[in-house]
Amino acid sequence: MPCTRKPDGVFYSQKQQRLLRHEHYSTSIHWSSQMLQLLRDLFPTTPNEELAGIIGVSTRTLIRKARQLGIDKDPQWLRNVWNSHCLIMQATTRRHGNAGQFKPGHHGGQPFPKRPVICTETGRSYPSITAAAQAHHTSPSNISQALRTGRRAAGMHFQYITPLTPANSRYLPITPAISH
């Protein structure tokens, strides 16, 4: 039986109970002028889920059409939504007794103290992990891992020059497992 193609154009779908547009081999929602006007008027200052319910399309379809038409959310409205969400989260946090917040005595926001390191093969010292990583063309996380585990980074072994004390660290590190 040969495949018959639907004719191009707009038609009413009984199954979806809406107007659909068929072009070539693609079927999509037919956006009426009333739907488009609602989108242009309400999209900048209305939550997407709410507007999708009003227009009668999915949230994803609504967002796609808004992008296609070049419609954006109002920056002031977005800022107000953000502020209200922040207030709700602060109230929730207070109600749960500091759950999710930094504990008393935490010193966040301070720069992490730099500790000098030395390459044991070359004897060259570096003022920080970052400086050692740049000199050996590797990432600081590789040097840091080598310092924690005693393994190599960029083919070299590294050690801290100064011991770790509470005065030069925000927290004491986990003792590395010794591998044989």
Please tell me the total count of domains within the chain. Answer: 2
Asked whether residue 177 is domain-assigned, the answer is: no
More confident residue, 1 or 160: 160
For residue 18, being part of any structural domain is answered with: yes
pLDDT band at 32; cut points 50, 70, 90:
confident
DSSP per residue, the chain: -PPPPPPSEEEEETTTTEEEEEETTEEEE---HHHHHHHHHHGGGS-HHHHHHHHTS-HHHHHHHHHHHT----HHHHHHHHHHHHHHHHHHHHHTTSTTSPPTT--TTSPPPP--EEETTT--EESSHHHHHHHTTS-HHHHHHHHHHS--BTTB-EEESSPP-GGG-SSPPPPPPP--
The tens digit of pLDDT for each residue in 100-122 reads 566 666 666 666 778 899 999 99
Confidence band of 23 (pLDDT split at 50, 70, 90): confident
Considering 69, 87, 103, which residue would you say is the last residue of a domain? 69
Domain assignment present for 152: yes
C-alpha span between 114 and 162 (Å, rounded): 11
pTM more than 0.75: no
Average pLDDT over every residue of 28-49: 89
Residue-wise pLDDT for 131-142, tens only, equals: 999 999 999 999
Query: In this structure, is residue 108 part of a structural domain?
Result: no
122 lies in some domain:
yes
173 domain residue, yes or no: no
Q: Report CA 1 to chain centroid distance, whole Å.
A: 51
Residue 70 has pLDDT above 80, yes or no: yes
Q: Residue-wise over 65-97: b if at least 16 C-beta within 10 A, else e? A: bbeeeebeeeeeeeeeeeeeeeeeeeeeeeeee
Is the pLDDT higher at 14 or at 154?
Answer: 154
What is the domain extent for residue 23?
9-69
User: In the predicted model, is pLDDT for residue 172 greater than 80?
Assistant: no
Q: Does 171 map to a domain?
A: no
Is 89 contained in some domain? no
Q: How confident is the model at residue 179 (pLDDT cuts 50, 70, 90)?
A: low
Mean pLDDT for the stretch of residues 8-27? 67
Q: Is the pLDDT of residue 180 over 90?
A: no
Q: What value does the mean pLDDT of the chain take?
A: 81
Indicate the pLDDT class of residue 3, thresholds 50, 70 and 90: low
Quickly state the pLDDT bin for 129 (edges 50, 70, 90).
Answer: very high
Q: Which residues contact 56 (CB under 8 A, 6 or more apart)?
A: 18, 35
